[in-house]
Structure 1
Amino acid sequence: MDKNNKQQRIDAIMIDDGATLIDALQQMDKASSKLLIVTREQKFYSLVSIGDLQRAMIAYQSFSKKISEILRPKIEVGHVADDRKFLLDIMLQNRTEFMPLLDDKGNLAEVIFWDEIVAHSVHINNELKDVPVVIMAGGKGSRLKPITNIIPKALVPLGEKPIMEIIADQFVRCGVQQFFASVNYKADLIKKYFDEIPGKNYSIAYTSENQPLGTIGSISLMKKNIRSTFFVSNCDILIDQDFSDVYRFHKAGSHELTVISAIKSYHIPYGTIELNNNGLLNQLKEKPQLMYYINTGVYVLEPHLINEVPENSFYDITDLIEKILARGGRVGVFPVSENAWLDIGEWKEYDKSLQLFSTRFAHLI
């Protein structure tokens, strides 16, 4: 990488400490980075990670809160004189994508990026080795026609692999060894493809839907197979997130079900008016930015929930969540950024998905 390109890359990951949580989240999306260098008066000040932002949002902090208020007191940085092997070991241990190097005065002297010095490799952390994953692959993929007239949605390619294989590979990097796939439409093609993957280090058991069972109904057919906390993922989405973090969040919160949610922002191109109870103007907001938590289609569930899903009946995840909440159960929400969620469920969005995959999700290849 030449000096100009590297400086542009460094500039893209720098943010002032007066920026807000949503500013940082959007800059991470733009830079395809999960870590930013925080500056104060244009000098190195700290680091902020996607984990820092997620913890703040999980604690119901406002999107307008300044990042300076959530910074960790202790961060991992290097010194320009440090041995590169020592720095690489720290980066690998912390799973960080770059390391700032400071001089004797505490000024930023250099940034070393993991992908500059280490060839692409797959690191498996094994934390989820006993956690099964259910992939919902039974749908017809009507929104992806005409390609799904030929192949099932689960085998729609992103780069050189079908999306379902990329999903499986991502979970395998967290240690997952056992998958269950709920199949129906063109099920034989899915089975044949995965049966012929050479050297795969995981197993897939298939459950056939004889009729449409909704977004979660098919887990009722897996009662005898799943007895521990498990993930459920749609077969047409990717999440740029370490699922070990999601699992720990789910367990720490004693949740029965956790939803991975993408934070979606909408800019209203007009001034909006809020009225009071008397119909009079209470507030005028000029072109506001609205934030919503979007359901990505990836969940963590406790095994007892399988017994609460009607057997072999149409049942959506919304039905299950409403049932849990009605009896006072806990449903967690784990936030990810807007561009950390890739949905290829519609043909008109497929080109955009390919572009995003080649940048933000390239490390999953």
Structure 2
Amino acid sequence: MKAIIMAGGEGTRLRPLTCNRPKPMIPVINRPVIEYAVNLLKQYSITDITISLFYLPENVVNYFGDGTFWDVTIDYSIEEIPLGTAGGVKLALKDYDETFIVLSGDGIYDFNLHDIINFHKKNNSLVTIALTHVPDPIEYGVVITRDDGTIERFLEKPSWGEVFSDTVNTGLYIIEPEIMERFVPKNEKFDFSYDLFPLLQKNNIPIYGYIADSYWCDIGNLDAYRKVHQDILSGIVKINFPGKKIGENIWAGNDVEIHPDAKITGPVVLGNYVKIKKGAEVSEYSVIGDNTVIHENASVRRSVVLHNTIIGTKTEIRGAIIGKRNVIEDTVSIYEGAVISDDCQIGNNAKIASGIRIWPEKVIDQGTQLNSDLIWGKTEKKILFSSEGIYGSFNIKITPEFAAKLGSAIGAFLGKNKKVIVSRDTTRASRLIKRALTAGLLSMGVEVYDLEIASIPINKYSVVYENADLGIYVQISPHTDLQFNLIRIFNKKGFELNNVERRKIENIFFRGDYSRSSAFEVGRLYYPTHNVESYVMFVSNFVNKEIIAKRQFNVIVDCFYGATTHIFPSLLAAFSCTATVLRGQIREFNSTEEIRNESRDSINGVKNLAKLNNEIGVIVGPHGEQLTVVDEEGNILQWDDITTLLGILFVKYRKVKELCIPVISSSRLETIAKEKNVIVKRVAKTLVFEDEFSIFSKNSKTVYPHSIYDYDPMIAFLLLLELVAREEKKLSDIRRALPDSNMYHIVLPCPVDAKAMVMREIASTADGHMELIDGVRVVHDDGWILILPDTILPSVHVYCEGITDEARDKIIDDYSIRIKKITAKFA
């Protein structure tokens, strides 16, 4: 017997899930719903199958092919114009002239097909409809049957006033070919329920109805989609669950990773390669698709999550449907009945209200509270750059194709015969993205100097040393289970690109209409070899090598298996320092937990060794951008300690006339500088300098201590050693002698839409001397306070320092109350 599966529906009532896929391809328990129809037919030895298609036919064809994997033979009938259910089946039959079975590709049937076929044959029926009883028949074709099994009356999708039965048409038919030949016109729109069955009754041709007591569900809307999952997981439907049973009502696919501290409560289905991290929870009636990652302390309950989705730390999903390839960041809340389609990005701290639907490729900003459907707005956000660089999930947003396109866009921005420095961290993912990005640059005629594994400071320095036009550094973010890439881009001075340059690259990237190079204009790839030696020479021009060499420091150095392994110990040796090197090999981390454990061991190890040996210790981050300095007593120096000590070096020994410190710094350096008649100027946290290496000029009369640290922490550490050598004291004693500071930093929640109002209200009601350098800084007689909006998160930063702890606390309390009153209006 031949089977025709009707699979042409668009599924408009299932949107946004059906925006990118036909209705029969919607996954149910991690398989397309139509696959259950194929398996049912195979179970009853019906292996000659034609699938009738109209909407997005390639999705079905690409998935099933010729049916070999399912041990059936599948061919396809594709309608050029909608022909209706009967018209589509007639087209699919071609010249077939035997009894055939028709069933819908968007329903779950648990019927005994042999019983239905035998009923059909026993009654010498020309048409048999499989029927069932449902509690809510208004969505279906209602039917009344006579005692002999023939159908007395039809009514398609009645109102409640028209309901005369709870027996409905399930869309499964056994039909003799003569019916199609006599009554269904060729290449015309013709429907079984609206056209053919009424026509047969008019011609007194009996239609038989077989009432099946087994399970059936037509997945016609989102409520039905939720219900069918609950029914299957409850055991009402007899299907073979994918994967193997690993616990009570818990099924898992291949290579699933579940942390020992994760909590799984069945019934639950986990797809292939799913990762459930420490403290995460997946609770009853949830289905998790292949390759999905659920991060630490996230929680998923009564929800369906499709393939290749990332769920961030502390995110909560309750009774929702999540499509494919979504990135749901940290501390997001998604509530009952919400539906998120494919390829969306939900920012940190966002809240998606109950019943909200989000169409494909939408970007929800961090901190957004979404209370209405998002259909047309914010399709793909035309912004590449975050505050740090280009950031996104590896192999979802940041793919090799994306990187190659980005490289081409940067090449178009620069023009031919320009020069770019590229380097990366120790991970294979970064290597892959860097190579693809390099290919894009070369295709635009750009010369690329590949440093391979090299830290950010070396990348910045090499841009200047090689007289390059840009530097690019590719890294994995260690705070997201190594799933997110960050691409940093530096200008020819080694600083972050300004907003104008970023916008130009973004416009080229999204527009994509730049000219391509010919085969004879492809750029050249170089691997420079002398950058490390020249870097050591450069540092020697800025840091006093002789003074440090005389002290002959013993330093404990932890390179954290990172990109500075090849350079930092050599740099210290060039300054006659003896380094005890820990974690001094290149190594790739495999998980966030491993990084946390190594970080804890690193800090404890360096602190203990520094105290035991009475030596200075230093831990360099994996990219060379973070520095943890430990004094001889095992105390960790804070950022404000380091920048203040750098300021002392320049005030006391370099005779500078002006110090520029960021608005978030304490007043300690101002106190010290005042004694030396040095001007202190407050500046923004992030600066762009006009002349090359102004921050590294020995003769400059204006110095930016924090910028030295931000640009190159390795140089900042050597300057600390120079200060210790000049003072002829221990670092711990110098730190202890610093003026006291009670500066305090808190973060207050603030919706994105409220940030501007907060700043306006604070500025307009300030009762002290106000400075608008970076945020709003208000100086009072007994202290100062800074209100600074977070560039990404829905929050504001509050920095405060007072002449006493009581004065500081009073200022913080006063401004916190003001901010909370303003943000309450946006709750």
TM over 0.5: yes
Aligned counterparts, 1:173-322, within 5 A: 173-195=43-65, 199-265=69-135, 291-307=165-181, 308-318=183-193, 319-322=195-198
Change (3 A) 1:219 1:349: closer
Change (3 A) 1:327 1:349: same
SS of 1:322's equivalent? helix
Q: What is the CA–CA distance in structure 1 between the aligned matches of 2:51 and 2:32, rounded to whole Å?
A: 15
Contact 1:166–1:364 (CA under 8 A) maintained in structure 2: no
Partner of 2:206: 330
Change (3 A) 1:363 1:139: closer
SS of 2:228's equivalent? helix
SS of 1:228's equivalent? coil
Is residue 348 of structure 1 aligned with residue 215 of structure 2? no
Look at both structures and tell me which one has the larger radius of gyration over its CA atoms. Answer: 2
Contact 2:217–2:224 (CA under 8 A) maintained in structure 1: no
Change (3 A) 1:210 1:165: same
Change (3 A) 1:225 1:181: farther
Structure 2: runs of 5 or more not aligned? 138-162, 242-827
Residues 158-208 of structure 1: CA deviation (Å, up to 9, x unaligned): 112111111110111100011111111110111000018663211111111
Residues 221-262 of structure 1: CA deviation (Å, up to 9, x unaligned): 134342211111111112211101000001101111111111
Q: Specify the code of the residue in structure 1 equivalent to 2:34.
A: M
Q: Specify the code of the residue in structure 2 equivalent to 1:142.
A: T
Q: Specify the code of the residue in structure 1 equivalent to 2:171.
A: G
Q: What is the CA–CA distance in structure 1 between the aligned matches of 2:105 and 2:5, rounded to whole Å?
A: 6
SS of 1:221's equivalent? helix
Q: What is the CA–CA distance in structure 1 between the aligned matches of 2:59 and 2:111, rounded to whole Å?
A: 29
Is residue 156 of structure 1 aligned with residue 31 of structure 2? no
Q: By how many angstroms is 1:266 displaced?
A: 6.3
Q: What is the CA–CA distance in structure 2 between the aligned matches of 1:312 and 1:264, rounded to whole Å?
A: 34
Q: What is the CA–CA distance in structure 2 between the aligned matches of 1:290 and 1:364, rounded to whole Å?
A: 36
Change (3 A) 1:172 1:351: same
Aligned counterparts, 1:98-109, within 5 A: none
Q: What is the CA–CA distance in structure 2 between the aligned matches of 1:190 and 1:223, rounded to whole Å?
A: 18
Q: What is the CA–CA distance in structure 1 between the aligned matches of 2:135 and 2:36, rounded to whole Å?
A: 27
Partner of 2:37: 167
Contact 1:133–1:231 (CA under 8 A) maintained in structure 2: yes
Q: Specify the code of the residue in structure 1 equivalent to 2:237.
A: F
Partner of 1:146: 16
Q: What is the CA–CA distance in structure 1 between the aligned matches of 2:197 and 2:22, rounded to whole Å?
A: 28
Could you state the TM-score of these two structures normalised by the residue count of structure 2? 0.25
SS of 1:255's equivalent? coil
Contact 1:240–1:340 (CA under 8 A) maintained in structure 2: yes
Q: By how many angstroms is 1:144 displaced?
A: 1.0
Change (3 A) 1:218 1:266: closer
Q: By how many angstroms is 1:362 displaced?
A: 3.7
Q: What is the CA–CA distance in structure 1 between the aligned matches of 2:63 and 2:116, rounded to whole Å?
A: 29
Aligned counterparts, 1:56-95, within 5 A: none
Pick aligned residue for 1:357 from 232, 243, 248: 232
Q: What is the CA–CA distance in structure 2 between the aligned matches of 1:175 and 1:231, rounded to whole Å?
A: 12
Q: What is the CA–CA distance in structure 2 between the aligned matches of 1:180 and 1:198, rounded to whole Å?
A: 14
Q: What is the CA–CA distance in structure 1 between the aligned matches of 2:31 and 2:131, rounded to whole Å?
A: 25
Q: By how many angstroms is 1:364 displaced?
A: 4.5
Q: What is the CA–CA distance in structure 2 between the aligned matches of 1:246 and 1:264, rounded to whole Å?
A: 19
Is residue 134 of structure 1 aligned with residue 4 of structure 2? yes
Greater relative CO (CA pairs within 8 A, separation 6+): 1
Counting matched residue pairs gives 213
Q: Specify the code of the residue in structure 1 equivalent to 2:230.
A: Q
Could you state the TM-score of these two structures normalised by the residue count of structure 1? 0.55
Q: Specify the code of the residue in structure 2 equivalent to 1:353.
A: V
Q: By how many angstroms is 1:315 displaced?
A: 0.8
Q: By how many angstroms is 1:219 displaced?
A: 2.0
SS of 1:149's equivalent? coil
SS of 2:166's equivalent? strand
Q: By how many angstroms is 1:349 displaced?
A: 2.0
How big is the alpha-carbon RMSD for the aligned residues of Structure 1 and Structure 2?
A: 2.1
Q: What is the CA–CA distance in structure 1 between the aligned matches of 2:3 and 2:66, rounded to whole Å?
A: 20
